[in-house]
Amino acid sequence: MKLLLEISFYGKPFYGYQVQAKGPSVQAELNRAAEKLFGYPCDIVGCSRTDSGVHARRYYVTVSEKGKPGLCTDLDPSRIPLALSFHLPESIAVRKAEWVGEDFHPRYGVLEKTYRYYMRFSPVRDPFTAETCWQVPYGSLPDRLERMRKAAGYFVGTHDFASFMAAGSKIKDPVRTVTRSEVRQEDEQTVFEVSADGFLYHMVRIFAGTLVEVAAGRKEPEDMIRVLEARDRHAAGPTAPAHGLFLWDVRYPEF
Amino acid sequence: MKLLLEISFYGKPFYGYQVQAKGPSVQAELNRAAEKLFGYPCDIVGCSRTDSGVHARRYYVTVSEKGKPGLCTDLDPSRIPLALSFHLPESIAVRKAEWVGEDFHPRYGVLEKTYRYYMRFSPVRDPFTAETCWQVPYGSLPDRLERMRKAAGYFVGTHDFASFMAAGSKIKDPVRTVTRSEVRQEDEQTVFEVSADGFLYHMVRIFAGTLVEVAAGRKEPEDMIRVLEARDRHAAGPTAPAHGLFLWDVRYPEF
């Protein structure tokens, strides 16, 4: 059996999820903590790559002994979240642990992922969301929410999303199915929530950057049809900064 | 005319609002920033004392030239929030500025203040709320919310709140009128929201600490009657930590 962990992490201190030579990563911290807890080196496999600075409200990893299909421990899974969290920095929390079969893969097994991108349209900064929300320094923009909602609606469905993929990305098949794409206001924050069977590199951040173009009146909601059809990164808006992005939820067939 | 500022501050870096010899304070930062912007020393008067580490979603201060009843500037008030914020640390934001009469006092003029105290009942930590919410490391507690709600209800009304005042406090008249006292669940956080015409030293934090005693079954909701009648700090629960407390709103007769 492998161990499946549900974790959360605050992205600011990390060069993303994956181990990087240039600095701290969530995976490197998990490797270190797991080796301390279990007493041997482990393989940690994550559910998704994440960019430097991106946050995860929910993220899943499997843990197995290095080079082996599973893991041996006398610890009850209910005790593992606190025990592992003890060896991790404050920016990472282990929420749950459970046993899964050795053929379970946290990335290939994903049914649907949901991201949220947080924006705040205000010239005035907010000390409580400075690290978790993109402050867009415009004053009031007419029909902003309605325009963003309408534009976001065009992302729903099975499309070739090449226009919303980082230039230079080597993905051969940029067709994805977006099952939800919504914009709503939560107090002073504007939240863009999007679910899909998979995402291209920078896809949500380019969605968000393009929605801000629509909010500002530099693009019309209907332009999204043309942007999708162009299959060209230049047709979409800029890439929104990493710190507004949260991997919000990950759905698997069962557990 | 004096300048009235609506500000927000994240409390962690400060020894509270008021100028302290031992370290940074919100007032000292405002003094420094106002002198830079206006070119002369200023008197900054705040709407409330706050403990070290307490946050403010809304806080009000007046600014006048040092030793004078008002302030002279050519700046339009609409430009002052950004101009002042520029000279302040990221943890303080100026949201609005407007002119008020020289007899306006931001503390004596308060009609009602509202505080929120954020708690999270979970043995597992959360990286996103670690600095703005008290993590109470209990698992599930039966009828927790209902018990807390019922207990909080006893605080409403005009009472002698001596039991909920820090020991050693020199306030002569501990009678206050609580107009609202509610507990609700917001996602994983339990929020205690309380409004009153005024608050005693540590009052909200002792309310919160006592509500946790009720949640944990160490006190009954009905015990609040006896605790109020005792007029003795020892009758109430412990003082909850500062970092879960927000000054949420301040109401004045008009503006």
B229 and B136 housed in the same domain: yes
A81 and A121 housed in the same domain: no
**pLDDT 10s digit of each residue in chain B, 255 long?**
999 999 999 999 999 999 988 999 999 999 999 999 999 999 999 999 999 999 999 999 999 999 999 999 889 999 999 999 999 999 999 999 999 999 999 999 999 999 999 999 999 999 999 999 999 998 789 899 999 999 999 999 999 999 999 988 888 899 999 999 999 999 999 999 999 999 999 999 999 999 999 999 999 999 999 999 999 999 999 999 999 999 999 999 875
A contact residues 109-138, partner B, Cβ 8 Å cutoff: 123-128, 130, 132
- Residue A195 DSSP symbol: E
- Kindly state whether residue B234 falls inside one of the protein's structural domains: yes
Containing H/E element for B156?
A: none
- A91 lies within 8 A of chain B by CB: yes
Residue A251's pLDDT band (cuts 50, 70, 90):
very high
Q: How far apart are CA A90 and CA B131, in angstroms?
A: 11
The chain-wide mean pLDDT, for chain A, equals: 96
Rounded CA Rg of chain A = 19
SS3 of residue A175 by DSSP: strand
Largest interatomic CA distance in chain A: 61
- Kindly state whether residue A39 falls inside one of the protein's structural domains: yes
For tokens 């994805």, what's the residue?
A: A176
Q: pLDDT value at position A237?
A: 97
B125 and A9 within 8 Å at the Cβ level: the answer is no
A22 and A77 housed in the same domain: yes
Q: pLDDT value at position B140?
A: 85
Quote the ipTM score: 0.91
B158 and B33 housed in the same domain: no
A192 and A244 housed in the same domain: yes
Which CATH number is B49's domain given?
Answer: 3.30.70.580
A89 and A176 housed in the same domain: no
With 0.90 as the threshold, say if the pTM is over it.
yes
Residues in chain B closer than 8 A to A90 (CB atoms): 125, 127, 130
- Kindly state whether residue B105 falls inside one of the protein's structural domains: no
Contact B8, B93 (CB under 8 A): yes
B82 and B118 housed in the same domain: no
B125 and B232 housed in the same domain: yes
B144 and B91 housed in the same domain: no
Residue A255's pLDDT band (cuts 50, 70, 90):
low
Contact A110, A251 (CB under 8 A): yes
B30 and B126 housed in the same domain: no
Query: B229 to each of B149, B162, B163, B182, B223, how far by Cα in Å?
Result: 20, 9, 8, 21, 10
Contact A210, A227 (CB under 8 A): yes
- Kindly state whether residue A217 falls inside one of the protein's structural domains: yes
- Choosing from B39, B66, B100, the residue where a domain stops is B100
Which CATH number is B155's domain given?
Answer: 3.30.70.660
The structural domain count of chain B equals 2
- Kindly state whether residue B107 falls inside one of the protein's structural domains: no
For tokens 């080597």, what's the residue?
A: A170
Residue A131's pLDDT band (cuts 50, 70, 90):
very high
- Kindly state whether residue B72 falls inside one of the protein's structural domains: yes
Q: In which domain, by residue range, is A157 found?
A: 112-251
CB contact set of A87 (below 8 Å; sequence gap of 6+): A32, A33, A36, A37
- Choosing from B49, B75, B100, the residue where a domain stops is B100
Handedness of CA B151, B155, B159, B163 (dihedral sign): positive
Rounded CA Rg of chain B = 19
B171 and B72 housed in the same domain: no
Burial of B199 (0-12, 13-18, 19+ CB in 10 A): buried
- Residue A241 DSSP symbol: P
Handedness of CA B39, B66, B89, B103 (dihedral sign): negative
Q: pLDDT value at position A139?
A: 77
- Nearest CA to CA, how far is A130 from chain B (Å)? 8
For tokens 């490391």, what's the residue?
A: B137
- B67 — alpha (psi -120 to 50), left (phi > 0) or beta? left
- Kindly state whether residue A107 falls inside one of the protein's structural domains: no
- Choosing from A71, A100, A129, the residue where a domain stops is A100
B95 and B120 housed in the same domain: no
Chain A interface, best mutation among B125, B126, B138, by max A CB count within 10 A: B125
SS3 of residue A254 by DSSP: coil
A127 and B9 within 8 Å at the Cβ level: the answer is yes
- Kindly state whether residue B11 falls inside one of the protein's structural domains: yes
